[in-house]
Amino acid sequence: MNRTKTFMLLAALTALFVGVGYMVGGPAGMAVAFVLAAGMNLFSYWNADKIVLAMYRAQPVDEGDSDPLIANFVADVYALADGAGLPRPRVHIVDSDQPNAFATGRDPAHAAVCANTGLLRMLTRAEIRGVMAHELAHVKNRDTLTMTITATIAGAISALANVAMFAGMFGGRREEDDRGGLIGTLAVAMLAPFAAALVQMGVSRSREYEADRVGAELCGDPQALASALRKIEGYARGTLNVGAEQHPATAHMFIINPLSGGRITDSLFSTHPSTENRVEALMRMSGRPWVEPAGRPYTAVPATQAVRRGPWG
């Protein structure tokens, strides 16, 4: 089923890309855009994970890391993957104060999970296990291919739309042009990235709930994941994620919206479901009322502190 959804999504994004190409250069522009889209789809299938990891300057880590915090983190990811019957993913960290995480890769055999250093500093070990179980759930559900390719193609659509905007304003298109002239070009240039964003948002919202459910089952602690979601949202609103701000088309890949000031609701225009709704669903799974977790408080750790000074010691 996921393969069918992925095909439909790529077809829709490709059509948008080709449509913008038509507005930029007419039939010739459409043909060029189609060739580029086909090549981009193929390239993204094999390399989208590498592209995203490179965007965030993610660094690979393993169980032999000299920092015991990172070594334990990797060991926990491997244990969760083993318990889920998944191949052990590549594990990366991103140097960012904002606590957050994402997964990428075309299939479970080629998956990578990535956590920001802020996640390791600010959350307890149980909460971090919950977050990584959520990311492994995306791998298990084969969401990562769709989410990663969507990020790369949506970003390309936005870039091409900017070209269309420039061409429409300064290209001297004739009013009698049957392709719509200046107004048509500007309309498509503005609507194409908007439509691509709506696709991203719909994909992300529908799959986050399922990843929460499966992740809670994998880690065996729905409340730990619920607590992590609440903490991450609180910190993310006040902590800049430079990589995400530079590449907003990747926002839907994270467990919580990484864009600063992003209001998280279940509206049409949100990249993620409401955190409160996600927490409520997780607490129904646990069958217990919410209890404020013990361990590290909700106050942020100063960015100058080293990663090894996190809650695991």
Q: Active-site residue numbers?
A: 135
Q: 68-84 and 181-219 are packed helices; what angle lies between their axes, rounded to 10 degrees?
A: 90
Which DSSP helix (H) or strand (E) runs through 13? helix 2-55
The angle subtended at Cα 286 by Cα 280 and Cα 287, nearest 5°, is 90
Which DSSP helix (H) or strand (E) runs through 148? helix 144-170
Sign of the dihedral through C-alpha 116, 120, 123, 126: positive
Chain mean position to CA 270: 13
Query: Are residues 131 and 119 in contact, defined by beta-carbon separation less than 8 angstroms?
Result: yes
Q: At a CB cut-off of 8 Å and minimum separation 6, what does 267 contact?
A: none
